[in-house]
Amino acid sequence: EEFELGVVGVSAPVYDFKQRVVAAFNVSAPKQRFGRHLDQAGQLAAKVARDFSVALGASPGPSRA
C-alpha cells in the first residue's frame, strides 16, 4: 500500500545479456483479493522476470530476479 491505500503489488527486475536491469515485471491488485497470496505472487513474478531475462540472454543463476 505504498502508493495507494488498499492496493498491493509485487515486482521483479528483468536483466539483459550484460546483466543490466532493463525492465521490471510488476503485478498489483486490491489488497482484499491479493493480500493473502502476496508471497506466492512474488515467487511467480520472480520466475516470470527470470524467464524474460534468460530470453534476453541473461544468466539464469539464482542472483537473477
Could you read off the pLDDT of 11-40 as tens digits, one per residue? 999 999 999 999 999 999 999 888 789 999
Q: Is the pTM of this model over 0.85?
A: no
DSSP secondary structure code for residue 37 in this structure: G
Cα–Cα distance list, 21 to 26, 48, 58 (Å): 14, 14, 10
pLDDT at 64 over 50: no
